[in-house]
Amino acid sequence: MARAPKTNSRINNNDYYRTRLKVGTTEQGKFIYKNFYGKTKGEAEAKKKEYAKELENGINPDLGNQSLGMALYNWLWNVEKLSGLKSSTFERYEGIYRNHIKGSQIALQPVKTIKKIALQKQYTDMVAQGKTIPQVENIHKVLRKFFKFALSEDYISKDPTIGVKLPKTNEDDFDSEDKNIEVFTQEEIKTIHANLEDEKLRYIALFSLFTGLRLGEILALEKTDVKDGYVCVNKTLSIIKIFENKEKYHYEMKAIKTKTKSSIREVPIPAPMQTELSRLKILVAKERIKLGSAYEDNNLLFPSITGTYIDKRNFTRSWTRFLKRIGVEHKKFHALRHTFATRLIENGVSIITVSKLLGHSSIQTTEIYTHVMKEEKEKGIMTLNDMLS
């Protein structure tokens, strides 16, 4: 058995070998050291040697003197990518850098010269240019982590992200689909239910209608998430860009944490839906037997016919074809979630309860359903205008 490499430092539960180089002295006469880390002693020493060589050649490799854009790029690929960061998190960081920071005005400034007021102005300008509040918040999270690293490595003397005031919003958990509320009528629901066959589309559609879960949340569910008549929501299915290196990547479907803490919730499953889940269990068992050893059992509540995650894009296309076939006006699958919320409010369920069931962090987000209902009532009354004419 090969002997494990010698290490002397532990970061984020990973072992490294650390060596250091004296690079100067403070005004008080104390030595300034720069640390170098590697998975082996040889790797760490090689980094130190390369750094010293660049200093001798008059090149300052210190991150603090690089532009923010260049430094952030190097930090992402040479520190974060190798730190054991989840692929979904790295993809998010890389996307934030590429789409929102790279090429911006502040990305051109040297790291050590960036002050709090410059960041404050950058965020304000971004909002004025059309970026959403959640986007700015995510940009700040990445920069906060980067500057924290820069401070810990003595590239900067003060973290400029501390004290920056971010714009506030109550819509951080608002779905893009929620901005155009579509609700199925009672007759449409009856038509949909009458035409659903013994297939995954049936059970997924009914589950959304009876629980209000988003499609991604439903497709990420595992069998163990359903217990004692409740479904525990704590993840969602997403398509993640997996980087093999800086130029090569591929996409994978992965279950990731829900986007907000309030999205983590337990929702009661009505009795009719529990009966449907029993029928689903029989369907899945038949699929497993039919496929035999080729079936991949991933413990999913709503697996594909091979046991893997159901592709959201394929499912959406199936939903569109289904509505067209049965003659129901097309509405997005998300309309089932809207229908769930609207019916609850119509039946007298409190707005607070509906908000918690939907996983909203603010009642103000849920109140859009009451506004829609008010508009529908007004339209209904308008039909009486000519009653006496």
pLDDT for 257 beyond 90: no
Query: Which helix (H) or strand (E) is 276 found in, with range?
Result: helix 271-291
What pTM was estimated for this model as a whole? Answer: 0.61
334 is catalytic: yes
> In this model, does residue 70 exceed pLDDT 60?
yes
Residue 174 has pLDDT above 50, yes or no: no
Q: Which of 246, 330, 371, 374 is catalytic?
A: 246
pLDDT: is 59 or 144 the higher one? 144
Residue 305 has what pLDDT? 94
Mark whether 330 is an active-site residue: no
In tens, the pLDDT along 207-233 reads 999 999 999 999 999 999 999 999 999
113, 104 Cβ separation under 8 angstroms: no
- Cα angle vertex 287, ends 281, 292, to 5°? 125
157-173: pLDDT as tens digits: 889 999 888 876 544 44
- What's the CATH class of domain 176-377? mainly alpha
Tell me what pLDDT residue 244 has: 72
Q: Which of 202, 254, 265, 337 is catalytic?
A: 337
The answer to whether 18 is a known catalytic residue is no
Angle between helices 133-152 and 87-96 (to 10 degrees): 100
Annotated catalytic, 230?
no
Characterize 112-134 residue by residue with b for buried, 16 or more Cβ atoms within 10 angstroms of its Cβ, and e for exposed: bebeeebbeebbeebeeeebebb
Q: How long, in residues, is the chain?
A: 389
Q: Of 34, 112, 200, 214, which one is the catalytic site residue?
A: 214
Single out the catalytic residue among 112, 265, 334, 343: 334
Residue 184 has a pLDDT of: 94
Q: Which sequence spans correspond to the domains of the chain? A: 176-377
Q: Which whole number is the average pLDDT over 123-139?
A: 83
- The pLDDT value recorded for residue 269 is 96
- Residue 337: active-site member: yes
Reported for 219-224, long-range contacts at CB under 8 A and 24+ positions apart, including other chains, are: 219/302, 219/309, 219/310, 219/312, 219/315, 220/255, 220/309, 221/300, 221/301, 221/302, 222/298, 222/299, 222/300, 222/301, 223/299, 223/300, 223/301, 224/299
What value does the mean pLDDT of the chain take? 84
Q: Is the pLDDT of residue 235 over 50?
A: yes
Q: Is 295 a known active-site residue?
A: no
